[in-house]
């Protein structure tokens, strides 16, 4: 059973997310989420991008200070630049809210196995960034 922490003040994720084999907690703000994630030995954190908007990459770094946490960014739609910033900050994946209901179980399975949940195009972009570094 996966431990899930949903960070979403707008309750958009809760209405779309469905996972039968998961223990789900909710946090309405980022401080509450940091406290709850610190109390968990390993959690998949579903983070609504709107919680921090352009400060989301910095917040992802804070969430990743908790060992074994895995952050997935969720939004209506993000630019490639914003997705890449979140991934470079340590997010394990990105999914659009509209796709969450359909892919929740597969997303959790992939993230739990240590895989990333990103498109092939984003994988290519990350490889280009790594090659140029």
Distance CA 119, CA 41 (A): 28
* Position 100 confidence tier, pLDDT thresholds 50, 70, 90: very high
Assess contact for 98 and 16: CB atoms under 8 A.
Answer: yes
Confidence band, pLDDT 50/70/90 cuts, at residue 67 = confident
> Mind listing the pLDDT tens digit for each residue in 106-128?
999 999 999 999 999 999 999 99
Total domains in the fold of the chain: 1
Nearby residues of 128 by Cβ (< 8 Å), 6 or more positions away: none
**Under 8 Å between Cβ of 81 and 104:** no
Q: Is the pLDDT of residue 28 over 90?
A: no
pTM score: 0.91
The domain in which residue 65 lies consists of 2-132
Question: Looking at residue 58, which CATH number applies to its domain?
Answer: 3.40.50.2300
Quickly state the pLDDT bin for 90 (edges 50, 70, 90). very high
Mean pLDDT of the chain: 89
Helix runs in the chain, H state only: 12-16, 30-38, 56-63, 80-89, 97-112, 120-132
Q: How confident is the model at residue 55 (pLDDT cuts 50, 70, 90)?
A: very high
């Amino acid at each position: 059973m996966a431990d899930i922490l949903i960070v979403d003040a707008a309750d958009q994720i809760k209405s779309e997310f469905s996972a039968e084999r998961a223990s789900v907690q909710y946090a309405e703000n980022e401080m509450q989420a940091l406290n709850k994630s610190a109390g968990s030995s390993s959690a998949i954190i579903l983070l609504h991008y709107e919680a921090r908007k352009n400060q989301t990459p910095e917040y992802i770094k804070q969430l990743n200070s908790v060992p074994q946490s895995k952050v997935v960014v969720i939004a209506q739609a993000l630019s490639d630049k914003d997705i890449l910033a979140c991934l470079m900050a340590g997010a394990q994946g990105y999914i659009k809210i509209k796709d969450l209901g359909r892919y929740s179980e597969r997303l959790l399975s992939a993230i739990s196995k240590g895989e990333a949940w990103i498109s092939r195009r984003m994988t290519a972009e990350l490889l280009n960034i790594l090659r140029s570094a």
